[in-house]
Structure 1
Amino acid sequence: MANTNQQKFPDVQGGGSLILAWQIKNKTVLVVGGGEVAAGRILNVLNADANVIVIVSSSLPISRRSLPPTLLPTWSSSPSTTRPPLPRSGKLCKEHHIPANIADVPSECDFYFGSVHRDGPLQIMVSTNGKGPRLAASIRKWIGNQLPAGVGNAIERIGELRVKLRKIVPDPADGPRRMRWMTKVSDAYSWDDMCALTDEDMDNLLIFYPSGKAPELQVLKAMRGGKVPEDLDVFDGSFGFSIGA
């Protein structure tokens, strides 16, 4: 007998990349090369709060101290050296199991730099798996233009609400319930409404967590100034009336 509650997943397509949010804060990233492509790579990793080492010109001496320790034995045996050919640097990374992106050689890349739309905490990456970087940039711009104004600020406010909720309900066992309530809250308000939530509004919103409800925005506004739900004269649709003959 078939399980009618089984979730339907999409068919496996294959040939794609596993797109992840890679946390590289305070990790060391080596960029070999210069020009516009290298500048874009450097900006990407700096935005992720990484420590960047840049090797730019073959005429510029490079101290062994500036290289990752795992590369020192095979890079050069002299106190300083010049930039090795790019294919050699990629080969060294593979030999030492260091993930690498080799510009213009997609087949040698362990990962790709997609075209990224950024709005505060929101990041949307478009990848063509190395087949059409220019097209990825055009698609990214189109997606960015479709998003509502203030979406980054709204996400920031929701993130602050999650932090507040975890402080008052820290037990990991309550995780599923927290997630269900946050989903309900996220679906209850428009982007503009979420951007306009004050710290007081979010504190008042947490009052409704035990009941599992997400109140209408007018209720939160009416609670400003220290009022509690019992003191409000706001119709929330929770009761009705009838007229008898």
Structure 2
Amino acid sequence: MAENKTVGGGSLLIAWQLKGKKVLIVGGGEVGAQRIDSLLTTDAHIDLVSPSAGLHPRSKGFLEKYPSRITHIDQEFAFIDGRQTTTAFIDVGTYDMVLTALDDNALSRQIVEVCRAIRVPVNAADIPELCDFYFGGQVRDGPLQIMISTNGNGPRIAALIKDRVKNALTGKEGDALTKVGILRTKLKERAPGVGGDVGRRRMRWMSKLCEQWSLEDFALLNEEAMDQLLDEGWEHNAVPLPVQVVGKRKIGGILEAITTDWVRSLPSFTSFLAGIGFAHIVFRLYQARK
């Protein structure tokens, strides 16, 4: 049996749901600002421990823009003889996740030890061996999130790969996924229930639909087209062709693109014809001289 090179040495990539959860960030510098930016996507509540003097401009901007999402605790996070000496005691055990964004590795290690002792997931910036999880490069388009992780080996390389992945996308994926999500909600309203025959039928129908329709087709859906798709498809246990549901919009878009391209090409086309005419005149003059 051939060796499976994907076994071992990797991480479990998961979409961690943090909505309504509490996250502690220690350090408000540049890395702290990056962590805030990442967490705002998740709808978590953030407590930021950092003296005001150490706040990065982006961190200050986030605090001003999202006061209901971020609580600023204006103080140092410090230990003496293993005991926390912060002005206002911070109970790490009340948090669902802790992130350190500090230049002080010794302090980061102390915070990690406290978190590990009470089983709170922790990430220590720039100290891979102390991290329960990593932050990777991320491509985001609406509900679509793609993470690229080098498992702590090369964050800059992850950023370069992220750019390649982003450039390979059409830009319609997020819109298409949003439309699919709305369609699934409508389908569940028509055929409610979890599991059972109805649940399995829903899954089969959606799977066939996703196999036969392109992302561009889904992106063209509107409310009326979704209802038509469910009426003519789901209700008859069939998958209509895209042209039957969004065909007019799609063809219209293609015709518009062709027309626009033709109009844009008029100047160069006119120049081309003029060039042919000029060459013909020169040739006739040359023939007359002979």
Same fold (TM over 0.5): yes
Report runs of 4+ in structure 1 exceeding 4 Å deviation: 221-224
In 2, Cα distance between equivalents of 1:195 and 1:130? 36
Q: TM-score, normalised by structure 1?
A: 0.76
Identity of aligned residues (%): 41
| More displaced 10-residue stretch of structure 1: 166-175 or 211-220 | 211-220
Which string of whole-angstrom CA distances, capped at 9 and with x for unpartnered residues, describes residues 100-139 of structure 1? 0011111111111111100000000000111111101111
In 2, Cα distance between equivalents of 1:43 and 1:142? 22
1:104-119 to structure 2, matched below 5 A, reads 104-119=126-141
User: Which one of 27, 46, 70 corresponds to residue 93 of structure 2?
Assistant: 70
* Residues 192, 113 of structure 1: alpha-carbon distance in 2 compared, 3 angstrom cutoff: same
1:85 counterpart SS class = helix
Deviation at 1:221, TM superposition (A): 4.6
Rg larger in 1 or in 2?
A: 2
The one-letter amino acid paired with 1:141 is D
Deviation at 1:154, TM superposition (A): 0.4
* Residues 87, 57 of structure 1: alpha-carbon distance in 2 compared, 3 angstrom cutoff: farther
Deviation at 1:36, TM superposition (A): 1.8
Q: Match for residue 16 of structure 2?
A: 22
Which string of whole-angstrom CA distances, capped at 9 and with x for unpartnered residues, describes residues 47-68 of structure 1? 1011001112397536536x34
Deviation at 1:187, TM superposition (A): 2.2
Deviation at 1:222, TM superposition (A): 7.8
Q: Which has the higher helix share?
A: 2
User: Which one of 85, 92, 109 corresponds to residue 87 of structure 1?
Assistant: 109
Stretches of structure 1 that go unaligned for 5 or more consecutive residues are 1-9, 73-83, 225-245
Stretches of structure 2 that go unaligned for 5 or more consecutive residues are 54-73, 76-85, 96-105, 250-290
Matched, 1:160 2:154: no
Matched, 1:182 2:206: yes
Q: State whether residues 137 and 158 of structure 2, in contact with CA within 8 Å, keep that contact through their aligned partners in structure 1.
A: yes
Q: Match for residue 280 of structure 2?
A: none
Aligned length: 203
User: Which one of 14, 22, 35 corresponds to residue 29 of structure 2?
Assistant: 35
Q: State whether residues 114 and 126 of structure 1, in contact with CA within 8 Å, keep that contact through their aligned partners in structure 2.
A: yes
Q: State whether residues 71 and 96 of structure 1, in contact with CA within 8 Å, keep that contact through their aligned partners in structure 2.
A: no
1:64 counterpart SS class = coil
In 2, Cα distance between equivalents of 1:222 and 1:106? 51
User: Which one of 218, 224, 232 corresponds to residue 200 of structure 1?
Assistant: 224
Matched, 1:217 2:242: yes
1:29 counterpart SS class = strand
Q: State whether residues 141 and 171 of structure 2, in contact with CA within 8 Å, keep that contact through their aligned partners in structure 1.
A: no
RMSD of aligned Cα (Å): 2.5
